[in-house]
Amino acid sequence: MGRPEEPVPHPHRALGRLALGLRNTRHQAHLTYTQLANSAPGFSRPTLQRAASGKTLPTRETVTAYAQACDADPGPLLELWEAAARERAAANLRKPAPAVRQIQDEADMGAALRNLHLDAGAPSCREIERRTRTSADTIRVPRNTVHQILSRQRFPSSRDQLRALLSALGVPVSGHEDWLRAWSRVHRRLQGDRRAARTRKDRLQRRINSNRLSAAYTTGLCTTIPAPRPHRPGNLDPAPVAWITSLGSASQISTLTYTRPDSTTNDPTRPTPTPHL
């Protein structure tokens, strides 16, 4: 039968169970990997041997050819393969998350709940809703709300809602207290952020209103101040000019006299005597 195979790295995981199932199937058929490859056209010996190593996930076609080459029903092996595929998908989705006692903000809570959902086997949102509905100790959580919380679009609205999710995901009651303390920390932080956002919004609105009032006052002031009248040539006082313009004809003007600085008068109609040199 050849040299003994290396032990499966993680026999308790789905990928390890698939590897053990493939090996048992080959052992029951009393085939070597070379004989197995001869009975599975298109699949080489290294490919079939690697499929049963438990280190990598083989393709669905490889598992089917493996079982058919051993003259076995591929159904049970394909079920193990689907479980291993789900396990790998969950591992790819799983991201680092802080411990429950170290959760400080909404992102930490979302990552922790997502990993908790994966550890619970990634049940559907409909199944989680059913579990919360049939439990007498928790409130019902609609599947749309479950989806928004697990996809980190929404924070659990209350402690009771979080407690219902924890129970549906298999967390024992004794482990709820740390989660509820974490919820309280995040909730207080969210409330503080909302108050700070409202304060910034109020300040911005007051600034906008102040700018609007200043602009309205400036506009109204400019419209009420009359434009300055242009000065006439010679800087003449407009009052006498207006009075002279209002006269009907020059005949209405009999005599214009001008007062000199020495209080003497001068008649412009009389010629000014020319002094003799």
List domains and CATH numbers for the chain.
Answer: 14-93 (1.10.260.40), 95-220 (no CATH)
How far CA 205 is from CA of 70, 75, 212, 217, 222, in Å, comes to: 77, 67, 10, 18, 26
- Reduce the DSSP state of residue 201 to 3 states and report it: helix
Q: What is the pLDDT of residue 204?
A: 85
Specify whether the CB–CB gap between 114 and 95 falls below 8 A: yes
Q: What is the pLDDT of residue 230?
A: 59
- Is residue 54 within a helix (H) or strand (E), and if so which, with residue range? none
Q: What is the pLDDT of residue 96?
A: 78
First vs last Cα of the chain: how many Å apart? Answer: 158
| Long-range CB contacts for residues 115-118, cutoff 8 Å, separation at least 24 | 116/166, 116/169, 116/171, 117/150, 117/169, 118/90, 118/93, 118/94
User: CA-CA distance, 245 to 254, in Å (whole number)?
Assistant: 15
Specify whether the CB–CB gap between 106 and 43 falls below 8 A: no
Handedness of CA 201, 207, 210, 214 (dihedral sign): negative
Q: What is the pLDDT of residue 166?
A: 94
Q: What is the pLDDT of residue 277?
A: 46
Which residues of the chain, if any, have pLDDT below 50?
1, 249-250, 253-254, 258, 277
What is the reported pTM?
Answer: 0.46
